[in-house]
Structure 1
Amino acid sequence: MADKYNLKNPAVKRILQEVKEMQSNPSDDFMSLPLEENIFEWQFAIRGPADTEFEGGIYHGRIQLPAEYPFKPPSFMLLTPNGRFETQTKICLSISNHHPEHWQPSWSVRTALVALIAFMPTNPNGALGSLDYKKEERRALAIKSREAPPKFGTPDRQKLIDEIHEYVLSKAPPVPQLSPAQSPEENLRTEVAEAETNLQNHEAVPAREELPDEPVGDRILEEQEMPPPANPSPGGVEVSREIPSQNSGTRVHPNPKPETGVQKPDDRLFTVAAIGLTIAIVVLLLKKFIRSTEHGAVFMNGS
């Protein structure tokens, strides 16, 4: 490769130095190498940043270095659909040729790739070559990006793309997959059965007789919120879930202390509480059924 170029040229000298450094000190988060026939044209692949909708994705692209490199910035183009940047379009970044005033000669291809990874989860703000897909759609594209590298360019370029893809994929941790989710109808039937069981258990609690001299105090009826169904995001990416906390119900003040004899709790109190609990459960289940149906529609659209 070096025999084809003038080693006294500052740009060539700098590029060959970066190639050597990239090969001797590889990263698990990215890989980039120049084409055999043109060291000013690089192929790269980056891993999506962790804890974002891009996590697990492998995104390919190309870098074009100017003849004045490193005194002028490179240009970047993504080849893998990702939902953040347009494909086969030069994107506008502070490290790209769209903003030469920000470029520093001390920066390198490695520096640019690290910055590109950091830019992925940021707000596009209408920048040239930017997209603003929903997170569910980006997650689906991230999973799909692992299946195979993009097809682009000559056979020699494609060979380099394939090799880079295999390297980055070998360093990427596996994406956790969710077990197949139940249909909304199955979720609803399951939750109705659980709600009926909870209601029966609540009504089965025997009434406690209170002695005449024992203060009645306050009775607090606690309603436990049903946990939401596990809805996988498109492509099987696991969605974090929060454990629902218990919500205190309405504080009910009993009748004044009876004047004579032993008094049993008012049966009407439990009847009203049972009806209120039943209504709350039915409303909650309807809301979750609607939410599950919406998530199912988003998944089908993202696929």
Structure 2
Amino acid sequence: MAEDKYNLKNPAVKRILQEVKEMQSNPSDDFMSLPLEENIFEWQFAIRGPGETEFEGGIYHGRIQLPAEYPFKPPSFMLLTPNGRFETQTKICLSISNHHPEHWQPSWSVRTALVALIAFMPTNPNGALGSLDYKKEERRALAIKSREAAPKFGNAERQKLIEEIHEYMLSKAPPVPQLSSSLSPEEHSTNEEREAQASHQNVGEAAGEGLLGPGVGDRIVDEPHEAPLNVNPISEGGSVSEQVPAGRSNEQLLHKPEAKVQRPADDRLFTWAAVGLTIAIVVLLLKKFMKANGHGAVFMDGS
């Protein structure tokens, strides 16, 4: 792409050309997007359906229109490939699109927006503008069909770029997993749980980048956090009360039996001292008694 024909003093043009270089030098297996040669504000893109969902293996083309104030204003998105989640050739309503400019951040780019769009694919549409709610079997059939050929859209320049992107995505895409109709209800339920888990993981990754804002039809609900059952609330005096063992109430703790008082070591020493003193007195008295008897015997012999 020749840069000399663009106004490099324009901040939007300068930013877009930087993103083009980054997209070409660091391609992804999950998406590809490039602008038209004659209009770098219009990009064609294709994303790969997220794994472990009914979109897995699908190649979904679309168009991005960047505003003249980019990156300070958000782009608009339009899907061109039938997919069962978004209407085709209709500007879709997401928290990363121009329908919600209050959520857009200038630090985001075409690359980060495409990552968020992939994460939005398996989420609940909730009636958002440009959203569809097809059954999983219908979406899976559309995913398989999306690989057959690139969609037809616009003039020859657009079509050429779309087909080039499609060939690139096909070279990176894994085979489409087939959905067996012979699965038992239990197996279907297990697959649905696994798909929901993968969907939440993808949404969580995009939310970590701040891309999944509270847009229409793309809401994120915080899970309630339960307080630990074994910790009492802070008392009125401002100090934290004791931890209550499981199965015991505060009232039970108020009537705890008093602990037995253990005899100190000093009491035992006192007892032994008393015994020793008693023995000493007895020995002394015995000596006096024996001495007295000895003197008496001598006196009698001398008489």
TM over 0.5: yes
Q: Give deviations 1:79-131, integer Å, cap 9, x for gaps.
A: 00000000000000000000000000000000000000000000001110000
Quote the residue 2:57 is aligned against.
56
Quote the residue 2:21 is aligned against.
20
CA distance in 2, matches of 1:9, 1:24: 23
Quote the residue 1:119 is aligned against.
120
Quote the residue 2:95 is aligned against.
94
CA distance in 2, matches of 1:110, 1:240: 34
Quote the residue 1:140 is aligned against.
141
Aligned residue-pair number = 187
Amino acid paired to 2:19: E
Correspondence list, 1:195-214, <5 A: none
Quote the residue 2:3 is aligned against.
2
**TM-score scaled by length of structure 2:** 0.59
Amino acid paired to 1:51: E
Quote the residue 2:203 is aligned against.
none
CA distance in 1, matches of 2:87, 2:188: 28
CA distance in 1, matches of 2:70, 2:31: 21
Q: Give deviations 1:148-171, integer Å, cap 9, x for gaps.
A: 010011111101000000001110
Amino acid paired to 1:158: Q
More strand by proportion, 1 or 2? 1
SS of alignment partner, residue 57 of structure 2: coil
Point out where structure 2 has 5 or more consecutive residues left out of the alignment.
191-303
Correspondence list, 1:153-168, <5 A: 153-168=154-169
Whose Rg is larger? 2
Q: Percent identity?
A: 90
**How far has the Cα of 1:4 moved from its partner?**
2.1
1:35 aligns with 2:36: yes
Contact 2:82 2:88 in 1 (8 A): yes
Quote the residue 1:128 is aligned against.
129
**How far has the Cα of 1:174 moved from its partner?**
1.2
**How far has the Cα of 1:3 moved from its partner?**
2.0
CA distance in 1, matches of 2:84, 2:71: 30
**How far has the Cα of 1:5 moved from its partner?**
1.5
Correspondence list, 1:69-88, <5 A: 69-88=70-89
Contact 2:33 2:44 in 1 (8 A): yes
CA distance in 1, matches of 2:21, 2:150: 24
Amino acid paired to 1:30: F
**How far has the Cα of 1:2 moved from its partner?**
1.6
Amino acid paired to 1:136: E
**How far has the Cα of 1:241 moved from its partner?**
8.6
CA distance in 2, matches of 1:134, 1:82: 11
**TM-score scaled by length of structure 1:** 0.59
